[in-house]
Amino acid sequence: MSATNHTHRTINLLIQLQELHVARVQKRATQPNSRLKQLNDTIDSLMGEIPVEYADQFTLLLGRDTMAIVPLADSSCSACSMALPIGRVNEIRTADMIYKCESCARLLYFPADLPKGVPQKRSATPKMGISRFSHPELMIPRLEGKTAEEVLGEMAELMQEKGYIDDAAKLTEEALKREALMSTGVDNAIAFPHVRGVEGGGLTLTLGISKRGIKFGGPGGKLTRIFFFVTIPMVTSGFYIKLLAGLCNAFDDKATRDLLIKQDDPDALWETLVKVTKNTIK
């Protein structure tokens, strides 16, 4: 195996490991009593395949933050925004080895073609609560999709239509890749599909309701009815876990979930979401 191919394989393993670490944090936030042995075993197995010179640094970085390996955004580190010399950008693109950011020390890689977020106009009035991350136009009270791909595609298309992302098909593809790694379906008929590393724009949440429910990999094969689809720029990754915990706390009660599910138009769905999350999402 050439040095470049070996490096690409290591980068892919590190990205998978990072997602699994985040999945573990997500599990603890959404299902605090869930058993994590299988997930921990998978993480340990993959760590055994990482060259020691990268494994040690990766573990150290993860101890500080959930982001240890990050893509370039144009010619800058997507985590801290430090601009890199063009020579270093070319070296990262060539991938004969894995380089680190001289500012934040995170490992860097040249990204595949990901969907991009579209910066939104700032409101003159500071936004609060869930309004910081979503909008009434991103509510879907009646999803038509009958499969994971159809539901995610429907929600991604709305995000593109409303100008929040530039490529619905690519966003759906990346979300499905994430689901293949480990389902984001949790207890209480809720799922948190997401795509991390979306360049540009801000953390954006779209809410969709499947009245009948679909198979989405939730515990025990139960149907999922409430979908919080989130696009996450690298610089806002820290907000995601807090948002996740706030949503889980808000919708832990069945009566509250049922109230959300029964809404039949976007404005009513939005008003319910704002009301229910008022005390859990600041």
Are residues 57 and 105 part of one domain? yes
Which one has a higher pLDDT value, 68 or 22?
Answer: 68
User: If pLDDT is split at 50, 70 and 90, which confidence band does 5 have?
Assistant: confident
Asked if the structure places residue 115 within a domain, the reply is no
User: Exposed (0-12), middle (13-18) or buried (19+): which is 85, by Cβ within 10 Å?
Assistant: exposed
Mean pLDDT lowest for which of 26-35, 159-168, 218-227? 26-35
User: Exposed (0-12), middle (13-18) or buried (19+): which is 74, by Cβ within 10 Å?
Assistant: exposed
**What is the span of the domain harbouring residue 84?**
3-109
Assign residue 211 the CATH number of its domain. Answer: 3.40.930.10
Asked if the structure places residue 114 within a domain, the reply is no
Are residues 172 and 48 part of one domain? no
Are residues 168 and 92 part of one domain? no
Q: Which of 109, 140, 156 is the last residue of a domain?
A: 109
Are residues 63 and 196 part of one domain? no
Are residues 153 and 61 part of one domain? no
Are residues 253 and 150 part of one domain? yes
Asked if the structure places residue 46 within a domain, the reply is yes
User: If pLDDT is split at 50, 70 and 90, which confidence band does 131 have?
Assistant: very high
**DSSP 8-state code for residue 120:** P
Are residues 134 and 269 part of one domain? yes
pLDDT score of 118: 66
Question: For the chain, where are the E strands, in sequence order?
Answer: 69-73, 76-77, 107-109, 139-140, 185-186, 190-191, 194-196, 204-215, 223-232
Assign residue 47 the CATH number of its domain. Answer: 1.10.287.1490
Are residues 180 and 53 part of one domain? no
Other residues' Cβ atoms within 10 Å of the Cβ of residue 79: 22
Are residues 253 and 161 part of one domain? yes
Are residues 134 and 19 part of one domain? no
User: If pLDDT is split at 50, 70 and 90, which confidence band does 124 have?
Assistant: very low
Distance CA 91, CA 93 (A): 5
Are residues 81 and 164 part of one domain? no
Domain count for the chain: 2
Asked if the structure places residue 119 within a domain, the reply is no
Distance CA 192, CA 188 (A): 12
Are residues 271 and 135 part of one domain? yes
Which one has a higher pLDDT value, 33 or 173?
Answer: 173
Q: Which of 109, 140, 163 is the last residue of a domain?
A: 109
Asked if the structure places residue 124 within a domain, the reply is no
Asked if the structure places residue 281 within a domain, the reply is no
pLDDT score of 101: 94
Mean pLDDT lowest for which of 1-15, 42-56, 142-156? 1-15
Asked if the structure places residue 122 within a domain, the reply is no
Pair 105, 60: CB distance under 8 Å: no
Identify residue 53 by its one-letter amino acid code: E
Segment 8-19 shows an average pLDDT of 89
User: If pLDDT is split at 50, 70 and 90, which confidence band does 73 have?
Assistant: confident
Segment 244-266 shows an average pLDDT of 94
